[in-house]
Each structure stands twice: as C-alpha cells, then as structure tokens.
Amino acid sequence: MFIKRRLTSKGITFHLIRKAGGHSTCRKIPARTWREAREYLRMYEGELVQGRPVSLYLEEVMFTRLAKEYQEYSLSRKARSTHQKDGSVIKALLRELGDLNLGQITNLKVQEMQSKWSKEGSSNKTINNRSILLGTMLRFAIDRNYLANLPKISKLKVDKKRPQFYTEEEIARILTKASPFVRDYVLVLLHTGLREGELKRLKWADVDCINRQIYVELSKSHKFRTIPMNDALYDHLIDLYRRKKEHQVYVFELNEGKPVSDFSHRLKKLLKRLGIEGHLHKLRHTFASRLVQKGVAIYEVQKLLGHASVQTTQVYAHVRMEDLQRSVRVLDFGRTVGVPS
C-alpha cells in the first residue's frame, strides 16, 4: 500500500494505491501536501489493523462551512433566480445536516433523510431537487479536498405529468380580454416559447429584425440559442419597436432601464377573471405542443425550447400521437365487408 501523486488540470491530487490478490485499487484521498498524504496513510493503516472504519477525511469540515463556501462560489456562476432557489434548498439541507461533518454524510444518512422528508409530505420531485443539489455540493467538496468519496445518492421515482396547454378558444379569449400590455407579451411568448426569465432579460439588442432572429444568451441550460421569427412575430415586434421609448433597453420595461418583473402576476389576474386554469409557463407548453401537432420534428422543438436533452422535450410527443390516433380512425377495413356464409 502506497501513495501516488498525480498532476491534473485542477492541480496536484494524491491517491492511495492498494494491491491484493493480483489486483490493485486506486482511491483519491483528501490531501493537499505530501505530509497530509503520509498522515492519511498512517491513519488508514492504523485503523485497518484495529478493525475500525477507515476515515475518509483528514480535516473535519462541517456541512455548514461547505454550504457557505458553495453559495459564495455559485453566486457569480448561476442566474440570480437559480441562486435564490438553491438558497431555499440549502436551508432544508442545513436543518438535517448542519451539525454533521462531511465524512458523516453516508449512504444511510441520505436514505434516512429522504425517508423523513417523504413522511413529512414532501413530493418526490422536491426530494430529488434537494438530493441533486446535495450531490453537487459534495462534488464541490471533493474538488476542494474536503472529502474523498461521494456517498450514493439515489433519486426517487417521479411520474411525469403531461404538459398542459391552452386551447385555441382559450387563447382567443386571453388575447381578446387582455390589456394591451399583457397581450403584447403573451403574443411574444406564444411565438417564441421563451421562459419567463428569458422574457424578462430580452433586450432590443437581442432582437435582429434584419435577419428575423431573436438571440437568447442566458437560457436555463447556459447555452446560446437562436429563435427565428415567423411573419406574425416579426410584424408584432416591428410594432413594439415603433412604440418603444427613446432610451428603452428591454423589450418590456416599465421604468427606464429596468425590466418588468411581474409577468406571471398580471397574467394570473386575467386568467382568474376569465375562469381559465393556467399560468405563464403554460404558454411555453402551448408553443411546443402546437409545433408538435403541426408535425415539427421533436429535435427541432428541442432546439427552439433550449432543452439540453431531447428526453426533456419528449413529454410533448404524446400530442402528436393523439393526432395520429385521430388520423387512423378514418380507416375501417373489413367493417363493410359481409361475413361469408
């Protein structure tokens, strides 16, 4: 058994090499110097001899410290809204893990924590969101040599719900009864499938009316994407541009230089008045569902929505299948043919 040093893109790492029965194993250890690595080896050998569980860490870093460092790290690397959502998830994790050091977060502890949340009424989706962020934070801890191994964090089964979309009649009522301002942004969402955050950040500098394209640079998947304009959207944006204020930066803004922040609230009030069930994100579902209904390939819909994986877009595939089922109903082979006597 010996220590081996490796030079990686993230710096120098130390690994414990064990050979037994003609086989060797290699495990990264939480050491930053040769001195720490040798100390880890001494501790490891001593605990093996005495039959005690082998420590997976040298420095007892508390989860509270990791949470603080991770939030500081992610502040400049995630969208503000995502960082705020992470904050609420981290609060839930701190209630369960705040008194523990990282080496005490074992497979069993994670399972017990998930079971407790489930008994308290948290949905599987909520539990998965917390578990995913915990895994991200612990991988961050490994990168900082606070932890050697990642505990197994299993995801719970979540039944995928079919996305709901507005009917043609509902869209007509919304556009007819909406205020001019609400109607303006509803039309943009129906023709682009933008997320609410993307709509808030949409600037006139991102709208290319010459090439008829909208550039979305801060999408959820952190990738640049382009949304082409159809004739209806092009005409609408030209009309909006003619009506904009002289120094207006965002496509939708109330105060000079500041984007609108209550798109959802405004639409929700209108929907309640009309007796229509829904929300702002349902407009995005409507955009995608209509494309699929019109026969647009699922991979093309994926690109327009900005999904990192086509698996996410597959939830809209049922819409096309329902259309195909209606199509084959016109066939009635054999039903008009008499039975031979």
* Spatial distance between the Cα atoms of 235 and 112, rounded to a whole number of angstroms: 57
Q: Please say if 243 is a catalytic residue.
A: no
Beta pairing partners, 259? 253
Q: Please say if 281 is a catalytic residue.
A: yes
Q: Please say if 307 is a catalytic residue.
A: yes
What are the helix and strand counts (H, E) for the chain?
14, 8
3-state secondary structure of 134: helix
- Residue in 284, 285, 290, 320 annotated catalytic: 284
| Cβ–Cβ under 8 Å, residues 199 and 188 | yes
Query: Residue type at 334?
Result: G
- Residue in 200, 201, 282, 307 annotated catalytic: 307
Q: Please say if 234 is a catalytic residue.
A: no
- Residue in 195, 200, 201, 290 annotated catalytic: 195
Q: Of all helices (H) and strands (E), which one includes residue 11?
A: strand 11-20
* Spatial distance between the Cα atoms of 13 and 299, rounded to a whole number of angstroms: 41
Q: Please say if 195 is a catalytic residue.
A: yes
Q: Please say if 215 is a catalytic residue.
A: no
- Residue in 130, 282, 316, 320 annotated catalytic: 316
- Residue in 15, 220, 244, 279 annotated catalytic: 220
DSSP per position, 156-221: PP-PPPPPP---HHHHHHHHHHS-HHHHHHHHHHHHH---HHHHHH-BGGGEETTTTEEEE-S-TT
Catalytic residues: 195, 220, 281, 284, 307, 316
